[in-house]
Amino acid sequence: MLLSKEMEREFMRVLGYSKFGLSPQEVIPFVTNLRNCAELLETKSKISLITVDPTDNIFLECAIDGKADYIISGDRHLLNLHIYEGIEIIKPKEYLAREGFLIES
- CB within 8 A of 63, min separation 6: which ones? 2, 70, 71, 84, 87
Q: How many CB atoms lie within 10 A of CB 43?
A: 19
Question: Is 65 inside a domain boundary?
Answer: yes
Determine, yes or no, domain membership for 49: yes
Compute and round to an integer the Cα radius of gyration of the chain: 14
CB 78 within 8 A of CB 101: no
User: Is the model's pLDDT at 105 over the cut of 90?
Assistant: no
Whether residue 47 contacts residue 64, with contact meaning beta carbons closer than 8 Å, is answered with: yes
Asked if residue 87 belongs to a domain, the reply is: yes
Angstrom distance (rounded) from CA 96 to CA 57: 24
Q: What is the CATH number of the domain that holds 86?
A: 3.40.50
Number of domains in the chain: 1
Percentage of the residues of the chain whose pLDDT score is greater than 70: 98
Residue-wise pLDDT tens digits, 22-62: 988 899 898 999 999 999 999 999 999 999 999 999 999 99
Domain residues for the domain of 44 are: 2-98
Averaged confidence pLDDT in the chain: 94
